[in-house]
Amino acid sequence: MKRLIIEQSDDEFYTSHSGLALAGACINRHSDLGRQVGRLSRGGGQIADIDILRSYLGLLCLGKSDFQAITGVRDDDFFQQALGIGRVPSTERLRQRLDEAAADGLIPLVFRSSQSMLKQLGVKVSGYADGLVPLDVDVFPQDNSNTRKEGVSRTYKNFDGYAPIAAYLGMEGWCLEVELRPGSQHGQAGFVVFIQRVIKAAHVLIEQEIVVRLDSAHDALETREALAAAENVRFLIKWNPRNSNELAWRDRVFSEGKVTTPRAGKRVGLLVVDEPMQVNGSAYPCKRIVRVTERTTDRHGQLLLTPDITLEGWWTDLDMEPEQVIALYRDHATSEQFHSEFKTDLDLERLPSGKFATNALVMALGTFAYNILRAIGQMGLLGQFAPIRHPAKRRRIRTVIQELIYLAARLISTGRRLILRFSRHCPVFAAFQGIYEQLVPAG
């Protein structure tokens, strides 16, 4: 192996993150973020609010959430050009201006701009064969232990942190909104207002019927009433048995329902109970599917001293067989993957600010960056020019960052034109070029 000669060019400019050109096109050509935020711009010679948001969105698309990361790109001409930034702020200015932007109420504007970007891009929102499109809403904890950040408190996972609630639309997991909440806040607190807001946003993107899937934290009459009264919406909610009598339910299900014996020593009973609701004088269908599993022996045939009884249930207004409803709810677990992409791929587990409002804005910008990266991945990593990988319906955010964002190229300025030149063996050049031509058509 020959010894390498290490040199640094005095005039040539290379970038390791050429994929920011794709992110910049999504922000500036396919969203109204600049127009929305421009109405609140401060002027007076300061860095514009939109440049602050573009700068932080750029960091998030690189998988960085800490404010100090802006120092590494302040002298990066490509970072500024790709994202359309007039002036890149310093660490201190970025922190201060995000504090001010959060106080000025920019969070709803960021969510609306993210949703408008998905609309303008015409992203595919996949559902099931029967036409139902899932809208998964769930709370996920963020570990911010050993900090004194505002709003940090004990979560249901038994550590100190936050408990934001997120809404994902379609099989692709498009994120409509993430609302930051204190760690100790119950998931049902303020939930009805949140779900009504995200349903309205979902109907802007699609016309198909939506099935809202919720876990047992949202098993409340007010939730079922709100969803039943919503137009073009079905619901599927995990039942919380709370203090229900397991023996009484076992006897009822095994006497009235369908009973199967998967193996010796194990019985499974399934019962459908119709429980229609009255909302504002109108009747709405609703049923509770109850499943009881009784085990008198373990899987190895060992007798148990007392029967092991598991009581489960689901509230729904879907006109399906019980087994289909249970299988449909099982897919709700996919939202856990989307949570992990926020926390690990976007580096949003431990939030960067000590102020709650600023961290709420950070999560809103994280939603925007998440949708940008998801859209880029769907456009470029699933087609014929995508790098060889296992077949999938979507690519993880980390994969998009690795394959399309952190892509080395040379930036050439000539004849008042900017050229982004890739190496001859770049494995994703065709995919990158295809995405860019879709986002920024020639002429």
In a domain, 250, yes or no: yes
Report whether pLDDT(216) > 90: yes
Give the residue-averaged pLDDT of 398-412.
92
CB 154 within 8 A of CB 160: yes
One domain, residues 18 and 107:
yes
Q: Which of 285, 314, 343 is the last residue of a domain?
A: 314
- Do 304 and 376 belong to one domain? no
Whether 365 and 310 share a structural domain: no
Q: Is residue 204 included in any domain, yes or no?
A: no
Q: Considering the domain boundaries, does residue 151 fall inside one?
A: no
The larger pLDDT score, comparing residue 423 to residue 1, is at 423
Task: State the pLDDT at residue 391.
Answer: 61
Q: Which residues contact 251 (CB under 8 A, 6 or more apart)?
A: none
Neighbours of 282 (CB within 10 A): 9
What local confidence, expressed as pLDDT, does residue 204 receive? Answer: 95
pTM for the whole structure: 0.93
**358, 430: one domain:** yes
The confidence band for 443, taking pLDDT boundaries of 50, 70 and 90, is low
Q: How many domains does the chain have?
A: 2
Same domain? 310 vs 362: no
Helix axes 20-29, 356-380, angle to 10 degrees: 110
Q: Of the ranges 37-41, 92-96, 429-433, which one carries the lowest mean pLDDT score? A: 37-41
Please give the pLDDT value at position 201: 96
Determine the distance from the C-alpha atom of residue 162 to the mean position of all C-alpha atoms in its chain, rounded to a whole number. 16
Is there a domain that residue 215 lies in?
no
Range in 175-179, 384-388, 415-419 with the lowest mean pLDDT: 384-388
pLDDT bucket at 44, cuts 50 / 70 / 90: low
Q: Is the pLDDT of residue 354 over 90?
A: yes
Could you tell me if residue 298 is inside a domain?
Answer: yes
- Report the C-alpha gap between 165 and 139 in whole angstroms: 4
List of residues 6+ apart from 390 with CB closer than 8 A:
none
The model's pLDDT over 291-341, given as tens digits with 9 standing for 90+, comes to 999 999 998 999 999 999 999 999 999 999 999 999 999 999 999 999 999
Query: What tokens were used for 186?
Result: 């119950």
Strand positions, DSSP E, 185-243: 210-214, 233-238
Neighbours of 283 (CB within 10 A): 10
**Mean of pLDDT over the chain:** 92
State whether 279 and 364 are in the same domain: no
Rg (CA), the chain: 25
Q: Is residue 425 part of a domain?
A: yes
| Domain of residue 272, residue span | 240-314
Q: What is the pLDDT of residue 226?
A: 95
The verdict on residue 26 lying in a domain is yes
307 and 367 fall within a common domain: no
The pLDDT value recorded for residue 13 is 83
Q: Are 392 and 378 in contact (CB under 8 A)?
A: no
Q: Are residues 375 and 310 in the same domain?
A: no
Is residue 284, in this structure, part of any structural domain at all? Answer: yes
* Same structural domain, 17 and 108: yes
Query: Residue 83's pLDDT is what?
Result: 96
**250 and 308 housed in the same domain:** yes
Amino acid in position 221? L
pLDDT at 96: 94
Q: How many CB atoms lie within 10 A of CB 295?
A: 16
Asked which of 294, 314, 334 is the last residue of a domain, the reply is 314
Last residue within a domain, chosen from 314, 341, 371: 314
